[in-house]
A and B are shown apart, each in its own frame.
Chain A
Amino acid sequence: MLRKKRSLEANIPSSSMADIAFLLLIFFLVATVIDVDTGIGMTLPELSDVDPPPVSKDRMAAVLINENNDVLLDGKPISLFQIKSTLKPRIISKIELPKKKKLIVSLKTDRKTAYHAYISALDQIKMAFFEVRDEYSNSKFGMKYRDLSDEIKKQVKDAIPIIISLAEPEAVK
């Protein structure tokens, strides 16, 4: 009397499984990024026998790092992580000056300086320039530097050019 009805054979429609697999495949193809390279970009100066023209003292900010990774900025010993805050006011003070009077940061190391100290210093210098650029574009155009259009970007770039001179290290006796 009370017999269970025999249920019909239930099966999941599997014809669309292929489409799902394709969709997954395409999603992962688009979404995967294969090891993006990040780093600090620099341009080396051309090799020439002619000595570079002399630069006035107030244009220069000389960063020296010795073999114990101590930092000297314009003769004053500071810590590696003070470079940015020390350079920023100097960069800002030269924004309105003509192109030939912008700040040049010279970075000089010893042959025995550790690479990580050099990179940290370079990083600090670059960060100083980047932050000044950001502040300048924020106050003038109300946007961060990277959100600006190419034309205005060039204006900012002209106002705050990144000039870093890599001096050849002195030989250690």
Chain B
Amino acid sequence: MKFEKKRASSKTEIPTSSMPDIIFMLLLFFMVTTTMREVELLVEFKLPDAEALEKIENKRLVSYIWVGKGGKIQINDSIVEVDDIQVIMYGKRQALPSVIVSLRVDVGARMGLVTDIQQELRKAYCLRINYSANIKI
């Protein structure tokens, strides 16, 4: 007896014309779902302009302190007082010893407040700081 495999006579082909649509759909899905851990800003500020700028190479090391108009200070997601900075920043330093504190201070802020913050940072032993500024054109 002869055995012969049965073959379908119709053509077998996966339709590939809709592949890009599927990929675009995936791309869009990921674009919509990814959130880039952005802190919600509670203070209003405008950064000063400067020329002698350095880039912070390692973004992981950066921790931000915002100082807005009217002298409000924000760390993480909440408004804090000057006295709280030491405790918070000390905790951050414990977790990440080479933390760089980026000070995003409003142009109109007074130096007294900035110095107070710096003193707190010194107490918390966070000595690497960076005055955030925009590139002067």
Contact = CB atoms under 8 A, between A and B. Distances in A.
Interface string A156-173: 000000000010110010
Contacts of A106: none
A108 to B, nearest CB: 10
Nearest to B54: A41
B5 interface: no
A20 B135 contact: no
How many residues of A sit at the interface, in one of the four size bands?
Answer: 35 or more
Contacts of B105: 115
A40 B133 contact: yes
B134 interface: yes
B5 to A, nearest CB: 29
A151 to B, nearest CB: 20
19 contacts: A21-B20, A37-B132, A38-B54, A41-B128, A41-B130, A43-B128, A43-B129, A44-B121, A44-B122, A45-B127, A46-B122, A47-B123, A111-B110, A113-B110, A118-B111, A122-B50, A126-B52, A169-B111, A172-B112
Closest 7 CB pairs of A and B: A111-B112, A126-B52, A17-B20, A18-B19, A123-B50, A116-B107, A39-B132
